[in-house]
Amino acid sequence: MERFPRNVALAAAFAFAPAAPALAADADDKGGRSGREVYEAVCVECHGTGKLNAPRFGDAGAWKKLIAEGQRSLVRTALRGIRQMPPRGGNPSLTDREVERAVVHMANAAGGRFKEPR
């Protein structure tokens, strides 16, 4: 039985090795927290009470104009922050998808018909 040179064996081992695990942000995007979980952990402090003039959860009147702006616009605003709301609601560990899920959860509770991100 003929043996392969060591460098060929190493190259073959790397070629057939399983792919490296996804980065944490990518892994979170595939799973991550639900909109309700993000809302309860991060958003409720302001959106639950109206603190700092945040539109209150479930208040259709306060959310009507925001919902009219559309899902994409609201998500972009939530990611970047606006007025007294910091980017990602002040939690930089949230993935884009988790932020979008929270936006969808809050908007839909006020009468929106946004689609859950995949």
Span 22-109 CATH architecture: Orthogonal Bundle (1.10)
Tell me the CA distances in angstroms from 104 to 6, 10, 44, one per residue in order: 55, 48, 14
- Mean confidence (pLDDT) of the chain: 82
Tens digit of pLDDT for each residue in 69-84?
Answer: 999 999 999 999 999 9
Does residue 110 contact residue 55 with C-beta atoms inside 8 Å? yes
Phi-psi region of 95 (alpha: psi -120 to 50; beta: other; left: phi over 0): beta
Q: 0.85 exceeded by the pTM?
A: no
